[in-house]
Structure 1
Amino acid sequence: MAAVLLSVHVVVAVVFVGAVTVAVSLFPRYGRQALAGDAAAVPALRLLHRVTRVYAVLSLAVPVFGIATASSLGVLTDTWVLAAMALTLLAAGVLVGAVLPGQQQVLGAAEGGLPPGGTRTDVGARVRRLATASGTFNLVWVVVVVLMVVRPGSTTGV
């Protein structure tokens, strides 16, 4: 059973979290293009924002299967698992607290609606903050993957 849970956990992580990380990474680039007047970039922004939202929800399956897998393997209280869970919460916080709202603001501005009292310069700064948050989100996932592969302190680890 542990092998099935682990397989599902890995597949769900690759497909769902992978889609989110790609969409999050591409959004600032198309945001800059749209704000520079490239109308063709706006549909790309809409698509990337939708992919981010939908796959973020689907990605909730990753920790569910991860906890089930860790529990079945008897490693749920191992430090590397707890660290990975904490980092997963951090990634979720960055996504919900910075990336998704930032995408919404940039998309709104690209569609022609500047925030009240806002300027293109303000939105340009938002794109830069969004790019930073996106990089942070992706870096956290890289660390989680490394923890999953190396499993520090594990007797079966490298």
Structure 2
Amino acid sequence: MTKLFLVLHILAVIVAIGPVAVAASMFPPVARRRLAEPGPGAAEAGAQLRLLHRICQVYALAAVAVPVLGMGVAGMMKVTGDTWVVVSIVLTIIAAVVLGALVLPRQGALLAESDPAPAEGGAGAGVGVVKRTKQLAMYTGIFNLLWAAVTIIMIVRPGSSLNH
């Protein structure tokens, strides 16, 4: 049964976290093109933004299965108190906060800004968009780095009695 839960946990990571990581990483450059340089293709870029944001939202909800299954596996393996599991849980919580409090709301704000006709703000508006999309890219990078760290910890398992 442990192997089944482990397989489900890993599949949940791939199927749920992977799309969020990719779509969230694609969002800032598309938003920058759409908002800082409006023109031909703006409607297509707006549709891309809506799709990328929707992917992030839906798969973020599906990603709840990752820690739930992970805790099930850790419980079955009787390693819930091991350092590598605790650190992974903390990093997962931080990643969820980064996604929920920093990435998704900023995506939503940029998406809302992209829906109406572009404002007549000139170069100053473009600078603000560039700054906000760079900040969003930074938060997305932090989210992705947190998941990379969790993946490494899950493989290396520092402090685990399984290391020989």
TM-score by length of structure 2 reads 0.89
Q: 1:75 aligns with which of 73, 79, 85?
A: 79
2:102 corresponding residue in structure 1: 98
Determine whether 1:138 maps to 2:107: no
2:133 corresponding residue in structure 1: 127
Give how far 1:121 is off: 3.3
Structure 1 residues 87 and 114: CA distance shift in structure 2, 3 A = farther
Structure 1 residues 121 and 21: CA distance shift in structure 2, 3 A = same
Q: Alpha-carbon deviations, 1:22-72, whole Å to 9, x = none?
A: 111100111111111141211110000000000000000000000000000
Matches within 5 A, 1:1-158: 1-35=1-35, 36-37=37-38, 38-39=41-42, 40-112=44-116, 119-157=125-163
Q: 2: CA distance between counterparts of 1:67 and 1:93?
A: 18
Q: Alpha-carbon deviations, 1:71-95, whole Å to 9, x = none?
A: 0000000000000000000000000
- Which structure 1 segments of 5+ residues have no match? none
TM-score by length of structure 1 reads 0.93
- Count of residues in Structure 1 that have an aligned counterpart in Structure 2: 157
Q: Percent identity?
A: 40
The answer to whether the 8 A contact 1:91-1:140 is kept is: yes
Q: Which has the larger radius of gyration?
A: 2
More relative contact order in 1 or in 2 (CA 8 Å, sep 6+)?
2
The answer to whether the 8 A contact 1:25-1:135 is kept is: yes
Structure 1 residues 122 and 81: CA distance shift in structure 2, 3 A = same
SS in 2 for 1:76: coil
Residues 124-133 or 89-98, more deviating: 124-133
- Which structure 2 segments of 5+ residues have no match? none
In angstroms, what is the RMSD of aligned CA positions?
Answer: 1.9
